[in-house]
Amino acid sequence: MRQWLRKSRILRAMRFLHYLVPYWLLRPFVRVRPRRFLFLSDSHDGYVGNMAFLKRAIEQQAPDAEIIGVFKPRLSARRPLRDALRLPMLIASSGVIVLDDFYPLIYFFRIRPDARLVQLWHAAGAFKRVGHSRAGLPGGPTRGSEIHRNYTDAVVSSESIVPDYAEAFGIDPQRVKPWGMPRSDAFFDEAAVAETRHRVREALGIADGDRFVLYAPTFRGQGQLTAQASPDADWAGISRTLGAGWRVGVRQHPFVADKGLPQGVIDAASIPDMNEVLMATDVLVTDYSSAVFEFSLLRRPIVFFVPDLEEYVADRSFYRPFEHYCIGPVVRDAEGLAAAIATATVDPARSAAFDEEFCGALDGHSSERIASRLLGGA
């Protein structure tokens, strides 16, 4: 029954009829306001990450712009009545609608000809498959699914990944714009990186001379509603093996519920901004997380801990062979982690090629550039 419901576009659309009917009734009588920017998210409360950086850039370039945000902390959260009542009018009247993640409500709307629906996406690069790239994989979209297809602009971090996101979103490559990634701008401000590093390490109780290892994996499962924790390791034991001068922290994906950490292991989730935690990190341990792309900009070592590689490939898969992403040592067994962390280094030439392929549009001016293009109608 559930599969049948997923395959029926009409039944899927019925979930949103109380938004769609008012929208179509309003359209003939409501004009589009070019300088009204509507930010929408079902993944976080308020302006964070890409949205915060872009909002600030719009305010700097166009103080007269009207900026409105409608947010939910997660897909499963109930939408407040006030938001449910005002969304049809806001969608009908906004010149630019900005997303940064999957947003089910919007995909049944036909965006007005003089408006734009802009997907910033929340990840740099092109690592694990998303959207229509997952068709045929467990939990992937059904044939003809409407998700993502109505974006007028999808902003990505490099020219070379335009085909990947055109496939993922089911849109023409001309609608995929390699304009950068707003939140990456912070990595190009050396003074800001140094200040953030000091502040975050102080908040986490890390001494100035200690090296901080962060384990930051992606989630397992098909999405926000079914997310599970990644394979774990004995991080307290790894910390003891590394010895004096090292501190170990863990930050699970935001979709995954916190299960507590052993004594001596830092809970890095206490810092809300992932990029700030990366700036405080000396060695990143991850698996298939897009955090590798932004961390690579810092030219610090990355260790890939992938005990479930074959299963993950079968369930999710990647845009390139996994080895293509491995700019650091690959560890298949937790017993080898401490040694890999202690000896991990950076290959400057390989990292430069990696950045050029996946982050070629990141230059410290992404927010300014994207705001300018949206305000100028490019």
Categorize the per-residue pLDDT at 231 as very low, low, confident or very high, splitting at 50, 70 and 90.
Answer: low
The candidate with the shortest Cα–Cα distance to 51, out of 155, 148, 176, 193, is: 155
Same domain for 339 and 218: yes
8 A C-beta contact, residue 172 and residue 154: no
Report the alpha-carbon angle 197-200-202, nearest 5: 105
- Under the banding of pLDDT at 50, 70 and 90, the label for residue 257 is low
> Same domain, yes or no, for 225 and 242?
yes
Distance CA 98, CA 371 (A): 11
Residue 219 has pLDDT above 70, yes or no: no
Whether pLDDT at 63 is above 70: yes
pLDDT band at 177 (very low <50, low <70, confident <90, very high): very high
Burial letters 84-96, b for 16+ CB under 10 A, else e: eeebbebbbbbbb
Residue 357 backbone dihedrals phi, psi, to 5 degrees:
-70, -45
Task: Quote the tokens at residue 365.
Answer: 């001016």
Q: Are residues 264 and 343 in the same domain?
A: yes
Residue 264 has pLDDT above 90, yes or no: no
Task: Tell me what percent of the residues of the chain surpass a pLDDT of 90.
Answer: 80
Write out the E strands in 122-224: 153-155, 176-177, 211-215
Q: What is the CATH number of the domain that holds 33?
A: 3.40.50.11820
- Structural domain for 47, as ranges: 2-181+364-376
Q: Does pTM top 0.85 for this prediction?
A: yes
* Residue (of 308, 246, 322, 309) closest to 282 by Cα position: 246
> Which of 148-157, 212-221, 325-334 comes out lowest in average pLDDT?
212-221
Distance CA 32, CA 12 (A): 27
User: 94-129: per-residue pLDDT in tens?
Assistant: 999 999 999 999 999 999 999 999 999 999 999 999
303 plus 208 within the same structural domain:
yes
Do 143 and 274 belong together in one domain?
Answer: no
Lowest mean pLDDT among 13-22, 148-157, 189-198, 247-256: 247-256
pLDDT band per the 50, 70, 90 thresholds, residue 3: low
User: How far apart are alpha carbons 55 and 320 in whole angstroms?
Assistant: 33
Give percent of the chain above pLDDT 70. 91
pLDDT in tens, 334-372: 999 999 999 999 999 999 999 999 999 999 999 999 999
For residue 88, pLDDT beyond 60: yes
The pLDDT score that the predictor gives to residue 224 is 46
Burial class of residue 273 (count of CB atoms within 10 Å of its CB; 0-12, 13-18, 19+): middle
Q: Is it the case that residue 132 has pLDDT exceeding 80? A: yes
Same domain, 351 and 209: yes
Residue bearing tokens 């599970």: 228
Strand arrangement, sheet containing 116-119: 66-71, 33-41, 94-99, 116-119, 153-155, 176-177
Residues 197 and 298 in one domain: yes
Question: What pLDDT band is residue 225 in, cutting at 50, 70 and 90?
Answer: very low
Residues 257 and 148 in one domain: no
153-155 and 176-177 beta bridge pairing:
parallel
What's the CATH code of the domain at 220?
3.40.50.12580
Question: Do 163 and 88 sit in the same domain of this protein?
Answer: yes
Q: Same domain for 63 and 44?
A: yes
Helix (H) or strand (E) holding 98: strand 94-99
Token pair of 157 as six digits: 């971090």
pLDDT of 255 over the 60 cut: no
* pLDDT of the residue at 256: 47
Q: What is the rounded average pLDDT for all residues in the chain?
A: 92
Q: What confidence score (pLDDT) does residue 15 get?
A: 84
In this prediction, residues 270-283 reach a mean pLDDT of: 96
Task: Based on the fold, state whether residues 158 and 273 are members of the same structural domain.
Answer: no
Number of domains in the chain: 2
| Block residue for tokens 């947010």 | 71
Q: Are residues 234 and 120 in the same domain?
A: no
